[in-house]
Amino acid sequence: MEKPIIHILLVENSSSDAHLLRRIFFHADQEQWQMLHVERLSEAIYASRENSASTLDDSQIESRKQRRFDLVLLDLSLPDSIGLDTLKEFRGAVPDIPVVVLTGLDDEDLAMQALAEGAQDYLVKDQITIQQLVRAIRYAIERSEILNQLRDSEERTRQALAKEQELNELKSNFVAMVSHEFRTPMTTIRTAVDILEYNSEKLTDDRRTKYFDRIQNAINQMLNLLDEILFLSKTEAAKLEYKPTFLDLEKFCTELTDILQVNAGNQHNIIFTFNGESTQAQMDEDLLNCIFTNLISNAIKYSPPNSTIWFDLICKDGLATFQVRDWGIGIPLKDQICLFQTFYRASNVGVIQGTGLGLTIVKKCVELHGGHVQLESEENVGTTVIVTLPLQWLGG
């Protein structure tokens, strides 16, 4: 089996010392070693970083073979740097290549300090033998590989722990949210059933109807919550399918507005407007319904009675731009960056009920269309959510 070539960078100001090291390498195994010699620290940093792993992204770093050098032999006395600062500066600029320090001083304290600063070994020039140099280089490379593997393992462990903590936090938030959101409708149902069961003879028909309506509304509230949870679980498990069909966006938005206006009653006025070119599109109607039902329902929920919700559509240049605008409580600036996170709710919602799932679902539905969503809001002024989707499906 062919031995791999070891690429070495020699950083040595003394031409005689450099010549001596070249001779040692020549006698060691001239086909196994390849060496580049520079005389200044700045040149060493430039040469090392030119094709170093520190300049590559994660997808490009597969092994040390992609580094230009496997090891650096570093003299501590250079024209542009002296002493341990030479090692510190090099390690700071190029942390991923092992370093063996060269020095003319047989100083044990200096050697220990060099090792503490990240050097793999410490060689005194006038004591170097072929066997010592070869052994130092091989051990330095091996130790560096082990350290890199340990660091990689530590990083993977850290990421796994962070992911586990995130999942545990999500579970805790989920349990807390479900407990809270189910408790209110369940209490409503239990109270209404108790009244109907034990005081039925004393109730008028109107009162009975009122309690039955409360039960029905509470059931619908729980069903909606279950639908949101099931929908989100599908997206997390990558089981939510995107099924584009041909539809007329203007007609779709008009019909959705009519349905939501009936649900809103006289408390809010929803106005749909359209501008632009043809509204023929290729989109997933169910996902669209989910997006804008959530957005308009939110606008209604967080707006004062008798206010207007604007639902606008502009079709132009192959894109459909939807806007849902309200004049409600708005969203504090500090909360806006987190609103699309699961279970997150703005700090000013007060007693207004909600799960913190709606905008998360909206974002996932928009991404399945290959679009994007953005939010503009000012506290006590109102909120505008802008959804931009391609008119035609770009998938395979």
One-letter amino acid of 298: N
Predicted confidence at residue 77, as pLDDT, reads 87
Upper half-sphere CA count for residue 360 (Cβ side, 13 Å):
19
Residue 134 belongs to a domain: no
> 218 and 258 share a domain?
no
Upper half-sphere CA count for residue 253 (Cβ side, 13 Å):
26
Tokens found for residue 73: 């032999």
CA–CA distance, 364 with 372 (Å, rounded to integer):
10
> 210 and 174 share a domain?
yes
pLDDT digits (tens, 9 = 90+) for 34-52: 888 999 999 999 888 765 5
> 249 and 232 share a domain?
no
CA–CA distance, 58 with 61 (Å, rounded to integer):
5
Segments forming the whole domain that contains residue 23: 6-128
Which pTM does this prediction carry? 0.51
Can you state the angle between helices 358-368 and 205-236, rounded to 10 degrees? 50
Which among 236, 259, 276 is the end of a domain?
236
Residue 72 belongs to a domain: yes
Q: Of 343, 250, 334, 262, whose CA–CA distance to 297 is shortest? A: 262
Residue 396 belongs to a domain: no
Predicted confidence at residue 181, as pLDDT, reads 63
Residues forming beta bridges with residue 378, ordered by sequence position: 382
Predicted confidence at residue 143, as pLDDT, reads 80
Cα–Cα separations (whole angstroms), residue 42 to 80, 86, 93, 152: 7, 10, 10, 29
Residue 145 belongs to a domain: no
> 293 and 370 share a domain?
yes
- For the chain, how many residues are written? 396
What torsion do the CA atoms of 208, 212, 218, 220 make, to the nearest 10 degrees? Answer: -160
Predicted confidence at residue 63, as pLDDT, reads 39
Q: Of 349, 355, 351, 362, whose CA–CA distance to 388 is shortest? A: 362
> 227 and 273 share a domain?
no
Predicted confidence at residue 55, as pLDDT, reads 41
- CATH number for 184: 1.10.287.130
Q: Which residues of the chain have pLDDT under 70?
A: 1-3, 28-31, 50-67, 166-182, 228-230, 232-239, 343, 353-356, 394-396
> 86 and 39 share a domain?
yes
> 224 and 249 share a domain?
no
CA–CA distance, 272 with 258 (Å, rounded to integer):
9
One-letter amino acid of 271: I
| Rounded CA Rg of the chain | 34
Residue 303 belongs to a domain: yes
pLDDT digits (tens, 9 = 90+) for 234-267: 665 556 778 889 999 999 999 999 999 988 888 8
Residue 368 belongs to a domain: yes
Predicted confidence at residue 350, as pLDDT, reads 79
Can you state the angle between helices 205-236 and 130-198, rounded to 10 degrees? 170
- CATH number for 97: 3.40.50.2300
> 72 and 198 share a domain?
no
Residue 147 belongs to a domain: no
Which among 101, 128, 155 is the end of a domain?
128
> 95 and 194 share a domain?
no
Tokens found for residue 162: 């962070």
Residue 180 belongs to a domain: yes
> 333 and 292 share a domain?
yes
| Residue 306 region by backbone torsions, left for phi larger than 0, else alpha for psi between -120 and 50, else beta | left
Instruction: Give the number of other Cβ atoms within 10 Å of residue 120's Cβ.
Output: 21
> 290 and 353 share a domain?
yes
Predicted confidence at residue 235, as pLDDT, reads 63
Q: Could you give the number of structural domains in the chain?
A: 3
> 275 and 369 share a domain?
yes
- CATH number for 310: 3.30.565.10
Which among 236, 257, 292 is the end of a domain?
236
Strands (E), 109-232: 121-124
Can you state the angle between helices 84-93 and 108-116, rounded to 10 degrees? 20
